[in-house]
Amino acid sequence: MLEEHGLSDRKLKILHAIIQTYLESGEPVGSRTISKYTDLNLSSATIRNEMADLEELGYIIQPHTSAGRIPSDKGYRLYVDMLMQEKEQELSDMQEQMLQKADKMDQLLKQAAKVLANNTNYATMVSTPMNNLNKIKFIQLSLVDEDQVIAVIVLGGNVIKNKIIPLDEPLSNENLLKLNMLLNTTLNGMSIEEINLGLIARLKEQAGIHSEVISNVLDAVADAIQIDEDMQIYTSGATNIFKYPELSDKQSAQDIISAFEEKQQLTDLVTQTLSQEENTGIQVYIGDESPVQNMKDCSVVTATYELGEGMKGTIGIIGPKRMDYEHVLKSMKRLQTELDEMFHKKE
């Protein structure tokens, strides 16, 4: 970017400061103002010289009625291009970090399920964390081509979702920047429940001819915030069930093994556990209390661990009704604490 435009780092910083100040105040910007608001530690005279160069190069202009300068279209273009490049780099870095973290987390959770099964001699499961607070952290729209944009939606816990959105009308880079600013200033920190019809109508009105883009982005946000279909459940020790005569002599053993293989019932168990906000501690379901149909002859113990920023996962132990509850609860509590501590350290 620097080589392409032939501007020094100092000139770029001064131009950035001029545009930022002008956007905030709407008034032409003088060298004295810039000397106060930048970290360059330059004199007004030096800044005046740099501003003269920027004016000669066409990045800023001087209104007839003022000694200050305002950005030109060329200056705005450079500012927008740099801003988009910075945001794309930030997102790229964030996605790279999240992929590395996700891989490490998967390995950790697989190991946790195995250790828990070995320690208790029961069947165990550990789910990957899901976004439970449904908060929007950041939205970035980027042009793919003249017919579509990609919406990158970052949720609490740095969960990243991508969605391709078709365009009914051509979208300039300037209007794309405006839509990005509109979406982020309005939606950052909000949950899906807080996005009401009045807010949607206001957003669409401000977006003008691009109101359909706003509708599609909001649909993408709603989809992203739903329970994550990509949630993984790691299991271990299912065959431990055969160690207990009251289970191995019945069809229930096969039912439990089937539930562990198909995982849909375990997914339902996780969803139910996380949907009940009071279930932040350890829950014990005995026999018919079990939320899993195929486990009515068992006891099911679940606990929730937290990754932070609304990210929660579930640990589960399935065994006979005569399980060693004291040992199970101690093991569960220890793993719950360890996962909490490990994930918070990573954050």
φ, ψ of residue 310 to 5 degrees: the values are 85, 0
pLDDT tens per residue, range 32-71: 888 876 677 788 888 889 999 999 999 999 887 677 889 8
Q: What percent of the chain has pLDDT over 90?
A: 6
pLDDT tens, residue by residue, 103-143: 677 788 888 899 899 989 999 998 887 765 567 888 888 88
pTM of the model: 0.51
Residues 6+ apart with CB under 8 A from 276: none
Question: If 0-12 CB within 10 Å is exposed, 13-18 middle and 19+ buried, where does residue 102 land?
Answer: middle
- Render pLDDT for 218-232 as a digit per residue (tens, 0 to 9): 888 777 666 555 678
**Predicted confidence band at 279 (pLDDT cuts at 50, 70, 90)?**
low
* Neighbouring residues of 27: CB distance < 8 A, sequence distance ≥ 6: 68
Q: State the CB neighbour count (10 A cutoff) for residue 103.
A: 10
The candidate with the shortest Cα–Cα distance to 256, out of 288, 313, 286, 300, is 300
User: 178-213, pLDDT tens digit by residue?
Assistant: 888 888 888 887 776 677 788 888 888 888 877 888
